[in-house]
């Protein structure tokens, strides 16, 4: 095929010289098949973790701006080395930093959002017959500082570039074969999905499917970028994320997802003051803490006090405590935390038209002696907070109950020639 393709390789795919050469061979093959190729790379293997460790050796709470200057070096190293490998294979290659690639972000360091992609330099390099390697996960702020997009930001870089240069497809190369309808490590009969709709993928990423970063799927949906999530080690087709309209049909349930990194925070003795809940959520939002489920019980009597519980990623607990401390003190609120929580969710576009799904979920978990502590739903998702140690049982039970085991008999294979 001709046209333009964005290929994104994760850290494990460029961990050492051997793998970089293998990725380079794959990139060159794509180029020789006639495509204009833009490649987005992550930092090598554990490089980012190493740099973070170096920073923490220096400072308990490193300056965010300097953290970005530090971390952004990892992807640049990957790109420079890959460009060398590609040049040795007889192809023109050029590496670009996020800034050189025209990725303009806001100024919120370590969690920057992309504001604009000025791809003229990339287009120029493609016109000059280059394979263009772009350092993922980073950009340049409106204040001309180096910024990073947060963990997994390289997926977002890839999708944003694909949108900006109007690529035919954004291929995300990863160490799994694609998107599965449950974690194969927990459910051996989990099935690889050939296609998933953006909405389903969004719910899956949001509820624990680690294969694609939530923001990248969001970005892809908003800009109509077709994502092909596939293995970087074998050449078999993976999973294509495409628009609702393009999907063949809507199965009742598409996948069971889970996460074990949840923590539940309960604020006890919340005064029945108007707007108190608002202050709590605002404080958490300002601290960039992603609150998932929120439950608030109404006080029964006028002098009684309300209680409020919510779940946050365990990694955000420190930030959450810090953000809530002043409010807790001001209103003499007790903060209780349970950090051993998990969450199991079922996702499926077909759910909309089947009210019985929720009941089946609760029954299934109940029959398996799994105590549901919180529930949240969307038109195509039902999530239950359960004790962390019960998560594997819950996933297996739901996967079986909704008959999600392979082989794929639910929908026809997609033709993948166009992505090969």
59 vs 273, beta carbon nearer a second copy: 59
Q: What is 67-136 written as a DSSP string? A: HHHHHHHHHHHHHHHHHHHHHHTT--EEEE-TTTTTEEE-S-TTS--EEEE-THHHHHHHHTTPEEEEET
Task: State in angstroms the smallest separation of the CB of 54 from a second copy.
Answer: 6
Pick one of 23, 27, 38, 67: the residue that binds a second copy (CB under 8 A). 67
Which positions from 139 to 178 touch a second copy by CB under 8 A, shown as an x/- string? -----x-x--------------------------------
Q: Is 350 exposed, middle or buried (0-12, 13-18, 19+ CB in 10 A)?
A: middle
CB 192 within 8 A of CB 407: no
Task: State in angstroms the smallest separation of the CB of 402 from a second copy.
Answer: 48
56 vs 285, beta carbon nearer a second copy: 56
Pick one of 7, 94, 160, 196: the residue that binds a second copy (CB under 8 A). 94
Pick one of 97, 147, 207, 309: the residue that binds a second copy (CB under 8 A). 97
Closest C-alpha among 248, 158, 266 to residue 197: 248
Euclidean distance between CA atoms 13 and 41, whole angstroms: 9
Euclidean distance between CA atoms 325 and 232, whole angstroms: 45
Residue 260 in contact with a second copy, rule: CB under 8 A? no
6 vs 85, beta carbon nearer a second copy: 85
Euclidean distance between CA atoms 51 and 403, whole angstroms: 44
Which positions from 228 to 257 touch a second copy by CB under 8 A, shown as an x/- string? ------------------------------
Of residues 18-57, those binding a second copy (CB under 8 A): 20-21, 51, 54-55, 57
Residue 83 in contact with a second copy, rule: CB under 8 A? yes
Residue 81 in contact with a second copy, rule: CB under 8 A? yes
Task: State in angstroms the smallest separation of the CB of 274 from a second copy.
Answer: 40
Cβ neighbours of 343 (radius 10 Å)? 25
Instruction: Phi first, then psi: give them for residue 97, nearest 5 degrees.
Output: -75, 170
Residue 349 in contact with a second copy, rule: CB under 8 A? no
84 vs 335, beta carbon nearer a second copy: 84
Size of the site for a second copy (CB under 8 A): 37
Tokens of 312: 């946050």
Euclidean distance between CA atoms 279 and 296, whole angstroms: 14
55 vs 328, beta carbon nearer a second copy: 55
21 vs 221, beta carbon nearer a second copy: 21
In sequence order, what are the residues at sequence separation of 6 or more whose Cβ sits closer than 8 angstroms to the Cβ of residue 141? Answer: 104, 105, 106, 107, 109, 112, 147
DSSP annotation of 290 = -
Q: How many Å is the Cα radius of gyration of the chain?
A: 23
Task: State in angstroms the smallest separation of the CB of 323 from a second copy.
Answer: 21
Residue 296 in contact with a second copy, rule: CB under 8 A? no
Helix, strand, coil share of the chain (percent; to 5) = 40, 25, 35
Chain residues binding a second copy by CB under 8 A are: 17, 20-21, 51, 54-55, 57-60, 62-63, 65-67, 69-70, 72-73, 76-77, 79-81, 83-85, 87-88, 93-95, 97, 100, 121, 144, 146
């Amino acid at each position: 095929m001709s046209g333009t393709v964005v290929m994104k390789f994760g850290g494990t795919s460029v961990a050492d010289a051997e793998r970089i050469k293998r990725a380079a061979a794959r990139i060159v093959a794509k180029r020789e098949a006639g495509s204009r190729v833009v490649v987005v790379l992550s930092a090598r293997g554990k490089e980012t973790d190493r740099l973070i460790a170096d920073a923490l050796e220096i400072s308990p709470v490193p300056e965010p701006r300097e953290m970005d200057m530090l971390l952004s070096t990892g992807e640049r190293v990957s790109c420079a080395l890959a460009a060398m490998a590609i040049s040795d294979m007889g192809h023109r290659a050029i590496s670009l930093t996020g800034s050189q690639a025209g990725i303009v972000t806001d100024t919120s360091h370590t969690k920057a959002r992309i504001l604009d992609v000025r791809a003229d330099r990339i287009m120029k390099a493609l016109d000059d017959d280059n394979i263009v390697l772009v350092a993922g996960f980073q950009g340049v702020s409106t204040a001309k500082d180096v910024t990073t997009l947060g963990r997994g930001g390289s997926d977002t870089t890839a999708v944003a570039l694909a949108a900006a240069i109007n690529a035919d497809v954004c291929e995300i190369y990863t160490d799994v074969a694609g998107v599965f309808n449950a974690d194969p490590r927990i459910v051996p009969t989990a099935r690889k999905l050939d296609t998933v709709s953006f909405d389903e993928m969004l719910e899956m990423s949001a509820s624990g499917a680690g294969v694609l970063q939530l923001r990248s799927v969001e970005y892809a949906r908003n800009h109509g970028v077709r994502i092909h999530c596939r293995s970087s080690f074998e050449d078999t087709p993976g999973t294509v994320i495409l628009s609702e309209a393009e999907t063949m049909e809507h199965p009742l349930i598409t996948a069971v997802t889970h996460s074990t990194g949840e923590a539940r925070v309960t604020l006890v003795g919340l005064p029945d003051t108007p707007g108190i809940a608002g202050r709590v959520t605002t404080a958490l939002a300002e601290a960039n803490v992603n609150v998932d489920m929120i439950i608030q019980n109404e006080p029964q009597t006028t002098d009684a006090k309300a209680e409020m519980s919510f779940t946050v990623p365990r990694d955000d607990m420190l930030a959450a405590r810090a953000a809530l401390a002043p409010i807790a003190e001001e209103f003499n609120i007790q903060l209780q935390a349970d950090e051993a929580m998990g969450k199991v969710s079922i996702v499926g576009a077909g759910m909309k038209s089947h009210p019985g799904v929720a009941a089946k979920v609760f029954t299934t978990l109940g029959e398996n002696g799994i105590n549901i502590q919180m529930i949240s739903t969307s038109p195509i998702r039902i999530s239950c907070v359960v004790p962390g140690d019960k998560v594997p049982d819950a996933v297996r039970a739901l996967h079986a109950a909704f008959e999600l085991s392979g082989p794929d008999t639910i929908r026809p294979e997609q033709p993948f020639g166009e992505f090969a």
